[in-house]
Amino acid sequence: MTKTKLIPRTDQAYETPMLIKHLVAQSLKYEPQREIVYRDLFRMTYVDFNRRVRQLANVLTNLGVGPGDTVAVFDWDSHRYLECFFGVTSLGAILHTINVRLSPAQILYTMNHAEDRIVLIHEDFLPILQGIKGQLTTVSQFVLISDKVYTDSPEVAVPDGFEGEYERLLKEASDQFDFPDFDENTWATTFYTTGTTGQPKGVYFSHRQLFMHTMGLLSYVVGYEAVPFRSAADVYMPITPMFHVHAWGFPFLATMLSVKQVYPGRYEPEMLLRLLLKEGVTLSHCVPTILNMLVTSPVAKQVDLSRWKVIIGGSALTKGLARAALELNISVYAGYGMSETAPVLTITYLNDQEKPLPINEQVELRARAGRIAPFVDLRLVDENGNDVPHDGQSLGEVVVHAPWLTQGYYKEPERSAELWRDGWLHTGDVATITPDNWLQIADRTKDVIKTGGEWISSLEIEDLLSQTVGVAEAAVVGLPDDKWGERPHALIVRKPDAAEVTADQIRTSLLEKVQRGELNKWYVPDRIVFVPEIPKTSVGKIDKKKIRSEMKDLILGISA
Amino acid sequence: MTKTKLIPRTDQAYETPMLIKHLVAQSLKYEPQREIVYRDLFRMTYVDFNRRVRQLANVLTNLGVGPGDTVAVFDWDSHRYLECFFGVTSLGAILHTINVRLSPAQILYTMNHAEDRIVLIHEDFLPILQGIKGQLTTVSQFVLISDKVYTDSPEVAVPDGFEGEYERLLKEASDQFDFPDFDENTWATTFYTTGTTGQPKGVYFSHRQLFMHTMGLLSYVVGYEAVPFRSAADVYMPITPMFHVHAWGFPFLATMLSVKQVYPGRYEPEMLLRLLLKEGVTLSHCVPTILNMLVTSPVAKQVDLSRWKVIIGGSALTKGLARAALELNISVYAGYGMSETAPVLTITYLNDQEKPLPINEQVELRARAGRIAPFVDLRLVDENGNDVPHDGQSLGEVVVHAPWLTQGYYKEPERSAELWRDGWLHTGDVATITPDNWLQIADRTKDVIKTGGEWISSLEIEDLLSQTVGVAEAAVVGLPDDKWGERPHALIVRKPDAAEVTADQIRTSLLEKVQRGELNKWYVPDRIVFVPEIPKTSVGKIDKKKIRSEMKDLILGISA
């Protein structure tokens, strides 16, 4: 492409860089009177918000924080976090959103690894800090965050050695601040994600990447009638922690469009429902557990949630939950992504032909992982990196190109190279893609069973087994096989009232499905072993790694 | 800013460049079955469109056109032009949209200046080509475009020396083409704009700039309830020539969102109205003349245009026209921009507080030039480059930063430096800006009258004079004055029945306004001179340059 005629990049003014400050600047152009709300404690207009973002920049600058410094935040979902999204990054500093669900030891590791310089911390998290403070190697300053300032205690007690309390410091600072121009590839944010092994890994994003992620979400919402952000009546409330991929990036979009925003703090069902109704929330996103908690709440049946749209991610949206939500007139969508991908890779989009479908058929579509998002290029590959067809049937690992992917894990060259092998980000998820761009996740790469040149989803067999008489719970793993490479094997926990169920009965029930043409023969596990309980990880997922390593002999030593 | 932490730019895959090919790729993701329509001659889905864009790329590649080559197009507004927007640029070649309204000599100049290599030309423009063909210095190939292929003459006669006819060549080409990746700063398009002096000037835009212009329009439409692009019912039909700043950039957005598009060819009122109704058009943009032609058409009063939104640019939207459109239930908006700015700088946006206003007050707002567009940074400066307050009163020249401004005029370093003096693009327009971001254009810089440290809009005095008894037409210019720098002077054409009106009477009527506090004293022209007619330019505008140079002695020699 050497012949291509370039318009040279220069330092001239016509090179407007894509910076986060340009997103927040839009919020004053059209609807500066719309509001940002924090629980029932605090509310302000976008005019106030823009002032506070500048006050925060002055507070940090006065404390000596400048471009390239890292600012750590421990907070519940709040307007303060939103102020940090814009105020810290637009200064040229890096925002480290602390994953408060990690263990104190892991939090300590991430803070030293990220080289945090200053910490903004909500009083609820002070006990965590207390335990690790002595081992922090780079932090030199602390700022207290307190909710009490909004109610009866405007003068909260600030711990010794702290610079002050957030609200008080803002109040004392000037609201004039000219955010500088700098390279759009400047590092803006970082946070840590955990795997099953090793220390948490730091992903990181530039101004350009977060800007483009916002444009991707924007292209999605404008194309989709059912998703809001269009009028004075639209109200956004995230129910995904702001430390986790910046609440999936939506706060950037909501701010840019000056949509009314509501931040709920902690996730107490009663408060969430109250805010939903009182503030007229029309768009949220959350994990399935939260939606389940809300739709099964007795209050949900007494109120009108028909204006509420909710995007589900983190885990699969089951058909049952999709149906339950639709029956309450809640518009429910699925999304798929990961910390490494900023995160959005897919979101449900029902097109002109699909929108009129009856609920039963919509449930099938809505329980998929969604359609490939704007500007995302998503392929399926086999073990050798060859393309797998997008036919809705063939399984392959999801690999991706997009303008908003982490370049790797901070200071982890080997894990980074593994993530980006062959020049594509490897998600570690195995999926199918239909010809019309629907993604369906089938398994994790490490759990998929490779048998006779075919990939089998362990989750799909588990799903079948769990519908079989007498089965309380099932775990399926692949174990080495001389002839086929790998073969599936199942661990079964019997239902309390089904002590007499045998492996042969379960096998027969699967073979009947094979005979009816509902199942491929090679999906039937070689061995079916009954166990009193299935090994789980600390977050309650089936620990297939442990099963494969520690229970291999047990499984293979007992014939079915 | 040396301390800022950069995420290095590399050639790795995580550096997704902003290319036009990524815009068209979105059109297949969600609504590939929506249509693109050309008059009543041709229609296709986005699936077909994507195939044809690739066929075009193959046709051009087979003809030896590659990255860095310039492709000139002469066509009416059509699907073919849209195919060139994407097919030519995604190849890495440069699209030169020929301004068919220029004189043949000017067209010849632009084609040689732009170094066009190949020409795609509609048969209606062959007579122009005939006259200049012998003097083209860089063109080596020609392709014929004909509308006859869609009706009764699938085999049109191709002139000697031509490579073939567009439809036929597409049909014979493969629809497989992998558009390459290249630097987002690659030159994508060029076209020529005319001033009052000198040869036409070539402006040029990169892939990144056109991508960002599309994002700016997108941010605008999503924020604005009244502008469509949201559902299956939305239909876009430009009525601004595609050669002129790519129909204001909207075709890029419409394609990205797979909105149904209608291209009307020539601007025949009957055809325009027919397409508006038959195809259910909901969004257009045009110059005031076209809207006026449509709203005054007898048919307009018989049909329902209440779903139609129209953005007016090119010249000011008058209050009269705004009211006439609103009374037909047409939602009318103004926009402001220029060829150098790709073009959008402002568009009307009525916010939550303004939307409920009665028509009379809306007319006042809608007749302004609009609000500052997303990602556009717009300032007013005085003659010394100092900021003028955005108070809705103070006049200053509009200077601008935005991610989509031409870096200059091609091969014109002096005119480019003049355009970009002080690091801001100088529009040459004098305006006011309200504190809530409304822009109101007052004059051209060269026509504004600088008197006693104040700027006076010559257009404002002309407007006042034209409302004075006996005045048929007025022209106001500034002429040098020892004491005040400049002073306003007026040329007046009397109404046929007002031969007795005197300069004193007119002056008195203005002074009465001064006494009532409606006018500043220094707005009253020093001299008022009656003339039989006012000098005009070839496009019918008042030729103030000529008045200042050739009529100066006449004006100053006669006392009022």
**Cα separation of B201 and B270, whole Å?**
34
Positive or negative CA dihedral for A140, A246, A338, B220? negative
Three-state helix/strand/coil letters over A139-150: CCEEEEECCHHH
CB B67 within 8 A of CB B91: yes
pLDDT at A5: 76
- B23's CB contacts (< 8 A; 6+ apart) are B86, B211, B214, B252, B255, B256
Place of tokens 């299956």: B232
**Cα separation of B340 and B227, whole Å?**
25
Fold designation for A16-206: Rossmann fold (3.40.50)
Which of A66, A372, A423 has its CB closest to that of B13?
A423
The string of pLDDT tens digits covering residues A126-157 is 999 999 999 999 999 999 999 999 987 767 89
Q: Give kind and range of the element (H or E) at residue A456.
A: strand A454-456
Q: Which residues 73-92 on chain B approach chain A with CB closer than 8 angstroms? A: 92
Fold designation for B447-556: GMP Synthetase; Chain A, domain 3 (3.30.300)
Max CA distance (Å), chain A: 79
Three-state helix/strand/coil letters over B285-312: EECHHHHHHHHCCHHHHHCCCCCCEEEE
Active site residue A190: no
Q: Find the closest chain A residue to B180 by CA distance.
A: A1
What beta strand segments (E) does A78-218 contain?
94-97, 118-122, 141-145, 187-193, 201-206
**Cα separation of A405 and A345, whole Å?**
10
CB contact under 8 A, A13 and B68: no
Whether B204 contacts chain A with CB within 8 A: yes
Q: What backbone phi and psi angles, to 5 degrees, belong to A411? A: 55, 35
Which of the listed ranges B91-95, B287-291, B454-458 does the model predict with the highest average pLDDT? B91-95
ipTM for the whole complex:
0.91
**Cα separation of A257 and A544, whole Å?**
44
Which has the closest alpha carbon to A55: A160, A151, A177, A148? A177
Which has the closest alpha carbon to A71: A163, A173, A159? A163
B contacts of A180 (beta carbons < 8 Å): 1
CB B262 within 8 A of CB B275: yes
Distance between A488 CA and the closest CA of chain B, angstroms: 36
Full strand arrangement of the beta sheet holding B141-145: B141-145, B118-122, B70-74, B94-97, B187-193, B201-206
pLDDT at B10: 55
Do A16-206 and A447-556 show the same overall fold? no
CA B20 to chain CA centroid, Å, is: 20
**Cα separation of A345 and A190, whole Å?**
19
Max CA distance (Å), chain B: 79
CB B124 within 8 A of CB B146: no
Q: Give kind and range of the element (H or E) at residue B471.
A: strand B471-481
pLDDT over threshold 80, residue B558: no
Place of tokens 């994990």: A287
Share of chain B above pLDDT 90, in %: 74
A contacts of B187 (beta carbons < 8 Å): 4-7
**Cα separation of A197 and B515, whole Å?**
84
Which has the closest alpha carbon to B123: B139, B103, B143? B143
> How many residues in chain B?
560
CB contact under 8 A, A219 and B256: yes
Residue A241 preceded by cis peptide, ω within 30: no
CB contact under 8 A, B183 and A4: yes
- Pairing type for strands A425-433 and B425-433 reads unpaired
pLDDT at B559: 46
Which of B9, B215, B437 has its CB closest to that of A29?
B437
Where are chain B's structural domains? 16-206, 447-556
Place of tokens 């945090």: A116
Whether A231 contacts chain B with CB within 8 A: yes
**Residues in chain A where the model's pLDDT stays below 50:** 1-2, 226-228, 559-560
**What type of residue is B114?**
A
pLDDT at B115: 97
Q: Reduced to 3 states, what is the DSSP secondary structure of residue B135?
A: helix
Which of B1, B405, B420 has its CB closest to that of A67?
B1
Q: Give kind and range of the element (H or E) at residue A324.
A: helix A319-327
Split at pLDDT 50, 70, 90, the class of B14 is: low
A contacts of B5 (beta carbons < 8 Å): 67-68, 94, 186-187
pLDDT at B517: 87
pLDDT over threshold 90, residue B305: no
Question: How much is the average pLDDT of B446-464?
Answer: 88
CB A387 within 8 A of CB A234: no
pLDDT at A210: 97
Tokens read off for A16: 């407007």
Active site residue A193: yes
pLDDT at B222: 60
The string of pLDDT tens digits covering residues B386-429 is 999 999 999 999 999 999 999 999 999 999 999 999 999 999 99
Which of A92, A231, A401 has its CB closest to that of B225?
A231
Q: What backbone phi and psi angles, to 5 degrees, belong to A284? A: -140, 170
> How many residues in chain A?
560
Whether A423 contacts chain B with CB within 8 A: yes
The string of pLDDT tens digits covering residues B327-355 is 999 989 999 999 999 999 999 999 989 98
Distance between A35 CA and the closest CA of chain B, angstroms: 12
Q: Reduced to 3 states, what is the DSSP secondary structure of residue A65?
A: coil
Question: How much is the average pLDDT of B187-215?
Answer: 92
Name the packing angle between helices A319-327 and A359-366 (round to 10°). 130
* pLDDT-wise least confident of A319-328, B9-18, B86-95: B9-18
CB contact under 8 A, B231 and A225: yes
**Cα separation of B63 and B172, whole Å?**
13
CB contact under 8 A, B9 and A437: no
Mean pLDDT of chain B: 91
Catalytic-role residue among A201, A260, A309, A450: A450
**Cα separation of B368 and B352, whole Å?**
18
